[in-house]
Amino acid sequence: MSDACDAGTALDALLIGDIAPLGAGNTPSGIDKQPVDKPLWLGREGLTGDMQGDRKHHGGPDKAVHHYPYEHYAAWRGEIGEVPLLDRPGAFGENLSTTGLSESTVAIGDVFRLGGALIEVSQGRQPCWKLNARFAVADMAARVQKSGRTGWYYRVIEAGRVATGDELRLVERRLPDWPLHRLWRILYVDTLNRDALRQMAALPGLPESWRRYAERRLASGQVEDWSRRLHGTAE
């Protein structure tokens, strides 16, 4: 695993979104994030002014801030074409946009200083059907899951003001052997590897919802149904 993130990475864009109707069903969603050019307060529940339409599955302390690497956009253009959403950060509903960090170089439990805030990587993003509606690509959520280009979430350890241009600097690496890409592989590729699942279940700081995935697979020998999350239906 690379330590390329040790030197610090500039925050290229800070984004928030209001709730607006999404898709054919006009589902309330805060996925449409827009860049802001002023400092914002980052608290335990996220950035001031940032909204989520579905608080059951989005937001909360373990998903206070969403980070998506901007370099992934080039790969998506190659896969789905020149979609206007990909012309600027925010296409994936992210709050933080950078270049130089990825799911292979960032590990679960990594602690970063961002402006006046201290934040900890809590989990990777589990893409949902709202990406299908946002991109008008029927299987966009499944594509994101399969690609491993999911982005990730932070929990907030110390609240503070953050702004575009602030340095995102790694200050502590608690689990260097657990890059997010490794967790992605357990969840979506090597899904019933019992040794890996046991190790995942024992990880300190892992959100309880992710710990339950590992424990349930170990108990049942089965993988959970992803259809409702990826397609909005139970197929």
Provide the CATH number for the domain around residue 61: 2.40.33.20
Residue 221 lies in a domain: no
Q: Is the pTM of this model over 0.85?
A: yes
- pLDDT above 70 for 148: yes
Residue 232 lies in a domain: no
Residue 229 lies in a domain: no
Residue 207 lies in a domain: no
What three-state secondary structure class fits 217? helix
- The pLDDT of residue 115 is 97
**What is the average per-residue pLDDT within 138-162?**
98
Residue 49 lies in a domain: yes
**What is the average per-residue pLDDT within 104-131?**
97
Burial of 160 (0-12, 13-18, 19+ CB in 10 A): middle
The residue segments making up the domain with residue 52 are 4-176
Residue 33 in contact with residue 17, Cβ under 8 Å? yes
Residue 114 in contact with residue 42, Cβ under 8 Å? yes
**DSSP sequence for the chain:** ---GGGG-EE--EEEE---EEETTTTEEE----EE-SS-EEEETTEETT---S-TTTS-SGGGSEEEEETTHHHHHHHHH---GGGGSTTTT--SEEESS--TTT-BTT-EEEETTEEEEEEEE----THHHHHHT-TTHHHHHHHHT---EEEEEEE-EEE-TT-EEEEEE-S-TT-BHHHHHHHHHTSTT-HHHHHHHHT-TT--HHHHHHHHHHHHHS-PPP-HHHHHSS--
Residue 15, both tokens: 């984004």
Residue 20 in contact with residue 32, Cβ under 8 Å? yes
Instruction: Quote the DSSP letter at residue 142.
Output: H
- pLDDT above 80 for 63: yes
Q: What length does the chain have?
A: 235
Residue 215 lies in a domain: no
Residue 203 lies in a domain: no
Residue 171, both tokens: 């200050």
Q: What are phi and psi of 138, to 5 degrees?
A: -60, -30
- Cα–Cα nearest to 8, from 183, 170, 223, 217: 170
- Total number of domains in the chain: 1
- The pLDDT of residue 2 is 45
**If pLDDT is split at 50, 70 and 90, which confidence band does 58 have?**
low
Residue 171 lies in a domain: yes
Residue 28 in contact with residue 130, Cβ under 8 Å? no
pLDDT by residue (tens digit) across 70-117?
Answer: 999 999 999 999 999 999 999 999 999 999 999 999 999 999 999 999
